[in-house]
Amino acid sequence: MQKQFIGGVMPGSIIAQDVYGSDGVLLIKKGSIFREQYIPRFIDAGVSEIYVDEFGRMTPETVNNIRRSLNIQDVIHEKTRTHAQNQIKKTMMKFKSVTNTDIQKISDLVQDMIEQLLDKKDFVFALSQLRSVDDYTYQHSVNVGVLALIIGIDLDLSPEQLKHLGMGAILHDIGKIVIPEEILKKPAKLTSEEFREVKRHTEYGYDILIQTDIPDESAQIALYHHEKFDGTGYTMGLRNTKIPLFARIVSVADVYDAMSNDRVYQRRSAPDKVFREITHLGDKHFDMHIMETFAKHINIYPTGTGIILNSGHRGIVLYQNKLYPESPIVRVFLPKDNDYKRLYFDLDLSLNTKWFITETF
DSSP one-letter code for 131 = -
- 321 and 348 fall within a common domain: yes
Burial of 298 (0-12, 13-18, 19+ CB in 10 A): buried
What's residue 156's pLDDT? 96
- 250 and 281 fall within a common domain: yes
Rounded percentage of the chain residues whose pLDDT exceeds 70: 84
Q: Confidence class of residue 131 from pLDDT cuts 50, 70 and 90?
A: very low
Q: Is residue 29 part of a domain?
A: yes
- 168 and 271 fall within a common domain: yes
Residue type, 214: I
Alpha helix stretches (DSSP H) within the chain: 38-44, 60-69, 78-92, 100-118, 136-154, 159-170, 181-184, 192-199, 201-209, 216-224, 245-260, 271-285, 288-295
pLDDT at 86 over 60: yes
- 34 and 164 fall within a common domain: no
- 252 and 281 fall within a common domain: yes
What's residue 120's pLDDT? 76
Mean pLDDT of 88-111: 87
Q: Is residue 22 part of a domain?
A: yes
Task: Tell me phi and psi for residue 350, to 5 degrees.
Answer: -75, -15
How far is 37 from 41, CA to CA, in rounded Å? 8
- 273 and 347 fall within a common domain: no
Q: Are 204 and 178 in contact (CB under 8 A)?
A: yes
CATH assignment at residue 136: 1.10.3210.10
Boundary residue ending a domain (39, 54, 69): 54
Domain of residue 257, residue span? 78-295
- pTM over the 0.75 mark: yes
* Per-range mean pLDDT, top range of 42-51, 142-151, 294-303, 304-313: 142-151
pLDDT at 208 over 80: yes
Task: Tell me phi and psi for residue 357, to 5 degrees.
Answer: -80, 130
- 260 and 188 fall within a common domain: yes
* Per-residue pLDDT tens over the stretch 43-65: 888 888 898 865 444 555 666 66
Mean pLDDT of 6-32: 80
CATH assignment at residue 7: 3.90.105.10
Q: How many domains is the chain built from?
A: 3
Q: Is residue 18 part of a domain?
A: yes
- 275 and 315 fall within a common domain: no
- 123 and 269 fall within a common domain: yes
